[in-house]
Chains A and B, each alone.
Chain A
Amino acid sequence: MPFLIVDQLSKKYPNDNTNALKGISFSMLKGEIVAVVGPSGCGKSTLLNLIEYLDLPTSGKILVNGKPVGDYGPAHTFRSKMVGFVFQYHHMVSGMTLAENVAAPLIAQGVGKLERRRRALEHLENVGLGHRAHFLPNLVSGGERQRAAVARALITSPSIILADEPTGNLDSSAGEAVFKLMLAQSRLNGSTVIIATHNLAIAAMADRIIQMRDGELISPV
């Protein structure tokens, strides 16, 4: 049975007259890694946001492990329990050190301070950033921020990892390094991964590629 089912998903933004997503359907097995590719504006971010329950679809539904996402409780509970997210511009909270940023998802889970610290350091070590743990984000390089963002997405060992152009503004070798890191960790946890990317070299490392254009899937899925 598929772990993630996206069924007839449509999204129309209020101040937009065309649909950003036009009835998309596909499904994924547990532990599968899928790359979503397509030109800018085709709806990749919209799709990922809906799967993360950051936003609500206009119609259609998303099932995780057989249950609609809405059945997991409030949106923040679903996000906290099920999903790790890597943003396009490796968003960090500027007032928090890398360690605090990485530990932020654990605060949502009510994990105690010492345990948070321990796990954050461990995950920063995993991405080679142990020595940067107590730096504020604006004092480290873009690549380091992005690796910290990966550590943050992985710290809760989520079932689903969503990465929205995680290598977007890194040069290709740094981008690939980050991506490989993410893949290795996800395979270890058995996470289901969706990555939106322009980068075909990176897409080629996924188990499967889904192509999108104008809010629709154009490749067989």
Chain B
Amino acid sequence: MIFIRNILRHKLRSIMTILGAAVGIAIYVAVVAITNNLEKETKQVIDDYNADITVQGKGAPSPLHSRIKSEDIDALKAMLGNQVDPLVVGALRENWNSYVMLLGVPLSLLPRFGLLEGSAPLPGGRDVMIGTILAQELGLKAGGSIPLGGGSAIVTGIYSMGNRLVDGGVVADIAEAQRLLGKEGQINIALVRIRNKGEVKNLIRDINRRFPRLNALPTADFVGNIRLFRTIGTFTKSVAIICFFGSCLVVTNTLLMALSERTREVGILMAVGWRPWLVIRMLLAESVTLCLCGAVAGNGMAILILKFLNNSKAVGFGWIPVTISPATFLGSLGVTILLALIALIWPATIVYKLSPVEALRHE
């Protein structure tokens, strides 16, 4: 196969090109894996509660930033009855990890965290339970103690929700979480369960009308409406696109070099009757082969990047995925084909404009 021979003819150059493509693809894959995973796991957490309506402070970019005053919660409870579960969530900065997720949940919800060992913390106490990922990272067992918020807390139990985001964090009784996070008298979001599902729409309208400081949403729409995720998504996508065009330049440059070395040969092929498309097809095979090698290397690199991030203290435990989903991998192949095609545009226009006589005279 001519395109394989052409690629092997300049091994070093081909390797550099494959790496150039791989970097762009790796960043794309890592970014997509992280953002998708973050949304997926957040959604899982919310879905786990089986809530019909999620209420947060108006204009909050994310549940972490949302504030609901306790008087509003009381009013909400009075309006809806006892189906309102307040949640406190925040991040603690500790010297063993700069991003520890702390979840404060009401007593009624504590048993929902699948306990692996020990027991749930008692209400009103200062104890906590921690997720398996965190327990593993810190080498902690039930009964141990964990430095938290300037003091230290007893770990009563270790839970596993099967969700890396939550399993990398700490769960406490709501009052204790408020104290640790300095959020006394306020919560982040409220989850509302309705017995009669037909009323959901009307209730959402009523809540939004009665509480101008709150924003009620059907739970199904909640994660898609987290503004922070959209901002992160936009930002990371921009970074990925810039890297993608960097990769395009690398591959384009290689194809241009290959074309210029072989201009006379292109002239020969045109002289024996090849139309430009046949020449471009040959370059396309080269471009696709290089880029697909880049895709394989890039996915490998992405896993390394994710593992590195996951191990780094600065980003917290658990929320970085360490595997790549089949959908993300397939998506990266799509991006790869796009890369191979875009990189070909410039070389292809040169082929189209090439005069066979000039090509044959080329040194």
Residues of A that sit less than 8 Å from B by CB: 49, 52, 54-55, 74-77, 79-81, 83, 85, 87, 91-96, 100, 104-105, 107-109, 136, 152, 156
Contact = CB atoms under 8 A, between A and B. Distances in A.
Given A80-B272, A95-B265, A108-B273, 20 more contacts: A54-B270, A55-B357, A74-B275, A76-B273, A76-B274, A76-B276, A79-B272, A80-B273, A81-B273, A87-B360, A91-B264, A91-B268, A91-B360, A92-B268, A93-B265, A95-B5, A96-B5, A100-B2, A104-B272, A105-B272
Interface in B332-363: 355-357, 360
Contacts of B357: 49, 54-55
Contacts of B360: 54, 87, 91
Interface in B1-59: 2, 5-6, 9
Nearest to B9: A95
Contacts of A95: 2, 5-6, 9, 262, 265
A93 B274 CA distance: 13
B270 A76 contact: yes
A70 to B, nearest CB: 16
Contacts of B271: 52, 54, 79, 85, 87
B203 interface: no
A74 B262 CA distance: 23
A94 B5 CA distance: 9
A92 to B, nearest CB: 8
Contacts of B242: none
B347 to A, nearest CB: 16
B283 to A, nearest CB: 12
A109 B273 CA distance: 8
B146 interface: no
Nearest to B7: A95
A83 B271 CA distance: 9
B272 A94 contact: no
B278 interface: yes
Contact of A108 (B2, B6, B267, B275): B275
B5 A108 contact: no
B188 to A, nearest CB: 63
B241 interface: no
B178 to A, nearest CB: 71
B250 interface: no
Nearest to B5: A95
A77 B267 CA distance: 15
22 contacts: A54-B356, A55-B356, A76-B270, A76-B275, A76-B276, A79-B271, A80-B272, A81-B273, A85-B272, A87-B268, A87-B271, A91-B268, A93-B262, A93-B265, A93-B268, A93-B269, A94-B262, A95-B6, A95-B9, A107-B278, A108-B275, A108-B278
Interface in B169-196: none
Interface string B239-266: 0000000000000000000000010110
Contacts of A77: 273, 275
Contacts of A108: 272-275, 278
B351 to A, nearest CB: 12
Please indicate which of the listed interface residues A74, A85, A92, A109 has the most CB atoms of chain B within 10 Å of its own CB. Answer: A85
A87 B271 CA distance: 10
Contacts of B356: 54-55, 75
Contacts of B269: 93, 104
B95 to A, nearest CB: 60
A81 B275 CA distance: 12
Contacts of B278: 107-108
10 tightest A-B CB contacts, nearest first: A80-B273, A108-B273, A105-B272, A76-B275, A79-B273, A55-B357, A95-B5, A93-B265, A54-B356, A95-B2
Given A87-B360, A100-B2, A94 B265 contact: yes
A201 B360 CA distance: 28
Interface string B265-296: 10111111111101000000000000000000
Contacts of B270: 54, 76, 79
B261 to A, nearest CB: 10
B2 A55 contact: no
A81 B273 CA distance: 8
B143 to A, nearest CB: 70
Given A91-B360, A93-B265, A93-B269, A104 B274 contact: yes
A24 to B, nearest CB: 18
A48 to B, nearest CB: 11
A183 B130 CA distance: 90
B273 A105 contact: yes
Contacts of B276: 76
Nearest to A102: B272
Nearest to B276: A76
Nearest to B271: A85
A200 to B, nearest CB: 26
A94 B6 CA distance: 9
